[in-house]
Structure 1
């Protein structure tokens, strides 16, 4: 591992990996980044996460920590002398964990329905997704951040989905900002933080990646394909084996 004390195994479009990168940036932690080809998993990834075989994995002093929210909590507890990510009050800390868990269970799973279902089911999925975002918007309310005045754990759990919003909107033909203006205002506020702005990829780059993945899976009308090049992509809950890069015209 090149002797680095902190190593991150990750894949650039992963909203889960982005959480870890933001937390490390907030703490000012130097680390070695190892991009993973999830169509051809590295021996290191298989060794460090033999149960799920997924990214992200943080390796600290040779010991692996898996699952993004667990990793963020580990980072906060281990490097606790700077930029606390968890609230100090136990009850507020429990609420932050609740909202992060809500994001994991609701946002990602429901967003998948937008790109996998059709017809009436697709329309219902859009409505469900918007209602979930409205619940999150209600929690933020008039506060700058999820749990109050400070950027922290719950914000990190959700903000990495922001770079995927353009993809969800394009596929679903709706506007998240129109439906949830305060949520988008919160996201833009988070983007003013260097840790977030330097971590989240451009939204249209994410969209291009998504189209590449969908084309490999056969869910894109090939009449729209203008160019095909080799590419490697997501797998597991998020990404699948190597696919093709395509440019789409609508």
Structure 2
């Protein structure tokens, strides 16, 4: 099983048979090294051949050729967007549905973009559909899916915070983490949310339920959220951290607070 593979530490050490399976979309990547090693163009070509959609290949490759900056993430996004365009143009909902449950994690990443950037969907529908990606077993899919819907979260912040405050109390730690990570004021590899940089208090409905979360994955995200906020509103963050330590002096809260205050205490 893929989950039991640790994966090579460098791209040159990936066994040829594993690389071939990854590029065919037969298996998931086991770590970041494998994730970076996949030839997304080759994976795309294999996917379209396997699904009898080779007519989509040239339009997607044309979009990739127009990218000014070619990184794993920009290629990932461009493929997802153009697959969405082709499916919409050809009324091909069946294909989009197949992508969402594909064995290859990078294909599911493309699928997340077909939802996050689908202008025919309202925000609530996008978030409903993206939740299965937020709870995906693969780290790459979980990371890409919040980036796919982040522009809508930022644009519809009040509604997003309302919906995601419920996610912050979800039984699945990955879903809880999405609520925090997707709304970070500064975030990683994404545009900042200026409203939350200036008024981080509006995110407390998401953060409060997570202040003593048992999951280290969630704790890291909450600590990073507050650390983001500390760069523009340090007094607010110090006040919240003091309050949390007073009201819930658990080891989980102490860990979050230490992470939250790391920039202030430099």
More helix by share: 2
- Normalised by the length of structure 2, the TM-score is 0.31
Larger radius of gyration: 2
Q: Looking at secondary structure, tell me which structure has more strand per residue.
A: 1
What TM-score comes out, normalization by structure 1 length?
A: 0.33
